[in-house]
Amino acid sequence: MSIKNIRIITPSWLVKSRKELALGVKTLERLGFTVKNGGFTTKLPTEKEKAAQIHAAFKDKATDLILAQRGGYSSLRVLPYIDYNLINKNRKLIAGFSDMSTLLNSIYERTGIITLHAPMLWNLSEPTNFTMNSFLNALDGFPNRELFSEAPVNVLKHGKASGTLKGGNLVTLTSMTGTKWEINTDGTILFLEDIDEKPHQIDRWLSQWILNGKFNKVKGLILGDFRGTETAQVFKVLTTQLKLRIPVVHCPYIGHVKNKITLPVGAKVTLDTARASLLVTGPSPILPSRQAK
């Protein structure tokens, strides 16, 4: 897939700084991309307007990549208005993270389209070389299939497992629990991250997942950055309530961080702690099949 034209959507908050938005657009243009709608706006769309914006982006034949402006909150409120049949008939890449976890996972689960847990326009105002290299690797179809390439990885429990890569922001995904958009974690290599949540809040969210059986059929677990809570505390919540028999690693380059790995949600991957490796397997993940998983 050749990525040239990028269209910006605002499923969550707006970028409040005109300068940051302009820098993000310039970063993409400097790399040879065309940003079709990089203008600054101060009016946040309504939920229906956000959905219409997303639909228009998918229907636009000249758009190759749909990129979220920034995260925040409120994309959950857009889900009832999303037409997944329209998206399935107009298949293309969509990217973002944080609050975008709602759309990344629900779109994959309902259409089979691989989505990208990736930096947003806001994050591209001053990106690191690592972030850009990982992002461009994804847009090129993952010629480097080692997603942990040049990233630090701490092994918390050894093992090797293969599955479907899913996940994202813990609080956002927890908010989907009990709804028809709740993420299906069976057979997954699951990654989770969060920001500025206190340890007792992380404990509460993870305990809810445990009580709901969300970890019962997970094949492997990746803990990203949990700014505000130590990784050891996050892992302890799990080990004091579960007998973990799956590989578990911590990678601080997943989450609200400067150095960010772009991850293909829905891709088949293998997590191998002996190699500190997260390897994309199978066909190129940005050429998705039509069968939803």
Per-residue confidence band for 289, with pLDDT thresholds at 50, 70 and 90: very low
Sequence ranges of the domains in the chain: 5-139, 154-280
CB–CB of 145/238 below 8 Å? no
pLDDT tens for residues 156-214?
999 999 999 999 999 999 999 999 999 999 999 999 999 999 999 999 999 999 999 99
pLDDT value at residue 72: 86
Beta bridge partners of 226: 194
Name the superfamily (CATH) of residues 5-139: Murein tetrapeptidase LD-carboxypeptidase, N-terminal domain (3.40.50.10740)
For residue 162, give Cα distances in angstroms to 148, 245, 260: 15, 14, 22
Q: Which helix (H) or strand (E) holds 101?
A: helix 101-111
pLDDT tens for residues 99-154?
999 999 999 999 999 999 999 999 999 999 999 999 999 999 999 999 999 999 99
Average pLDDT, stretch 259-281? Answer: 98
pLDDT value at residue 290: 35
Pick the CATH number of 154-280 from 3.20.20.80, 3.50.30.60, 3.40.1830.10, 3.40.50.620: 3.50.30.60
Output the DSSP codes for 249-275: EE-TTSSSSSS---EEET-EEEEETTT
| Cα separation, 38 vs 27, whole angstroms | 12
pLDDT value at residue 287: 52
Beta bridge partners of 164: 188, 268
Q: Quote the pTM value.
A: 0.95
| Cα separation, 195 vs 197, whole angstroms | 6
pLDDT tens for residues 225-259?
999 999 999 999 999 999 999 999 999 999 999 99
Contacts of 254 (CB under 8 A, 6+ apart): 117, 191, 193, 222, 224, 225, 260, 261, 263
Per-residue confidence band for 288, with pLDDT thresholds at 50, 70 and 90: very low
Do domains 5-139 and 154-280 share one topology? The answer is no
pLDDT value at residue 194: 97
| Cα separation, 112 vs 2, whole angstroms | 19
The distance between the two most distant Cα atoms of the chain, rounded to a whole number of Å, is 51
pLDDT of 293 > 50? The answer is no
Q: C-alpha angle 20/22/24, rounded to 5°? A: 70
